[in-house]
Amino acid sequence: MKYALLGIGQAGLRHYEAFKKIRRLKFIGFTEFDKKKAINFSHKNNVKHYKNLKDIINLKPDFIIIALPHSFRLEEIKLCSINNINLIIEKPLALNSTQLKLIEKYIYKKKLIHTISFVHRYRKEVLKSKNFIINNYIGKIKFISEMMISQKNALLPKWIDDKKKSGGGVLLYNAIHSIDKLCFLANSNIDYVFAKKTNINNNIDVEDIITVSINFKNGLLANLTAVFLPYKTTPKWETKIFGDSGQIDINIRKGLVLIKDNKITNYDYLNYYKKNGQNYNFYAQAKSYIKSLKTKQPPLVSIKDGINSVKIVDAIYKSTKLNKAIKIKY
């Protein structure tokens, strides 16, 4: 199989390192706006830098990874889909529902296998928790609490603070992963949301704090709080799942705790992460996606998941603006 990469920023490089580990794949080229970065990457990895996506498409790649800034993906997604190229698209699929309408008819081509890079679904602790839920370890899920706290470090791209390029702040850059994870664990679409946002850093035009009350269509309730701090902090990504007969606590990159029959069982994955790396989930998604291409089976994360996540984000931002609960239209 042949593949190409659009964008070699932080996410793009993680995808590159992941697919590099898979045998019998040929990396045929990449695009990148930063000329200096492109020259260095090209020399280091002995691969050609292309200025035009059409030149890459002429090489007939089996799939392309789109890891461009949020506002630069629309035309690339359309062009690749028109030319029948399978896609891995970094989240979010689009800036908003208006953009979404412009690409929906292209990305729904029947024979194409697209996926969204909601890579945290592939983490061991998330998949283990999903298995516990499916097998009724903690009974019927009643409530999920999701807390995401992280630092906006100096290595992150500057465009994430520019609303025209990013579309939003902590919700679109970080917490959209939480939204996907909550839907995955709840096994339900979200019915309506009520949200508030604010800022610690008032020098940027996107939010760095958001809190969302979520009602799922299956009756499950959830609360999401995401914070993106401009200073050093104690990072945390914690999910607490409360069932009517037990509880699961997920600590991303560390493990999980199962509370069942008044017994506490700890699943410590620290050594697993030391062995496989903090970003092994990119490799897990890469392997899974190649398998989907070979078998023509749907990937774990569907294009519908990406579409729904954009509609949910839109509803959340609308709620913060109107100060009321917003029902999501799918």
> Which pLDDT tens digit goes with each residue over 290-330?
999 999 999 999 999 999 999 999 999 999 999 999 999 99
Tokens at 10, concatenated: 């932080």
- pLDDT value of residue 109: 75
**Contact status, residue 169 vs residue 208, Cβ threshold 8 Å:** yes
CATH number for region 2-119? 3.40.50.720
Task: Give residue 180's pLDDT.
Answer: 98
Asked whether the beta carbons of 229 and 170 are under 8 A apart, the reply is no
Distance (Å, whole) CA 321 – CA 195: 9
CA 305/CA 115 separation, integer angstroms: 9
CB atoms within 10 A of CB 324: 11
Place of tokens 């009517």: 244
Confidence category of residue 117, pLDDT binned at 50, 70, 90: very high
Cβ–Cβ under 8 Å, residues 149 and 227? yes
- 13: its two tokens: 């490089």
Domain edges within the chain: 2-119, 121-277+302-327
Q: Give the integer Cα–Cα distance in Å for 153 and 165.
A: 19
- Phi and psi at residue 140, in whole multiples of 5°? -75, 130
For residues 66 and 42, the answer to whether their CB atoms sit within 8 Å is no
What is residue 108's predicted lDDT score, i.e. its pLDDT?
85
Q: Are 281 and 123 in contact (CB under 8 A)?
A: yes
Full DSSP string of 183-215:
HHHHTS-EEEEEEEEE-S-TTSSS-SEEEEEEE
What predicted TM-score, i.e. pTM, was given to this entire model? 0.95
91-109: per-residue pLDDT in tens?
999 999 999 999 988 998 7
Gap between the terminal Cα atoms of the chain = 35
pLDDT at 255: 97
Per-residue pLDDT tens for 162-218? 999 999 999 999 999 999 999 999 999 999 999 999 999 999 999 999 999 999 999
Q: Which CATH number fits domain 121-277+302-327: 3.30.360.10, 3.20.20.370, 3.40.50.300, 1.10.150.130?
A: 3.30.360.10
Asked whether 68 and 7 are in contact (CB, 8 A), the reply is yes
Residue 153 has pLDDT above 90, yes or no: no
Query: What digits encode the pLDDT tens for the residues 46-56?
Result: 999 999 999 99
